[in-house]
Amino acid sequence: MEINENLQAERNLKGTEFEKTGNFEKAIELYEENVREGFKGNHPYDRLATLYKNQNDIDNEIRILEKAIIVYEEITIEDRIEGLPKLFRFKNRLEKAIHTRSLLLKQKKSKLK
């Protein structure tokens, strides 16, 4: 599959505009398309993780952060040293999201008792 980086950049810009107008569903659609294509930058991953977190959709937040880590591991291997701080940031966010999910599951279990 050929990747059109200009189209990906345009999607990110449009996604940002949709967010500004409160159309989060449309923004998510555009960012998700870039993620499916393995976008080599942090924007769609950061925005999706934040949007999903704000919607209390922890599973999708975790899914996106895991994909971001895979992309940034590749970027770092390709000798793009600027990818390393972002890789660590995504790993940190993933750890927090997993912890949050664990707490939520414990709360659900205690309510069922």
Q: What is the DSSP annotation of 29-76? A: HHHHHHHHTT-SSSHHHHHHHHHHHHTT-HHHHHHHHHHHHHHHHHHH
Residues in the chain with pLDDT values less than 70: 1, 79-80, 113
CATH number of the domain to which 95 belongs:
1.25.40.10
pTM of the model: 0.89
Domain count, the chain: 1
The whole domain housing 34 covers 5-112
What's the confidence (pLDDT) of residue 3?
78
What's the confidence (pLDDT) of residue 113?
67
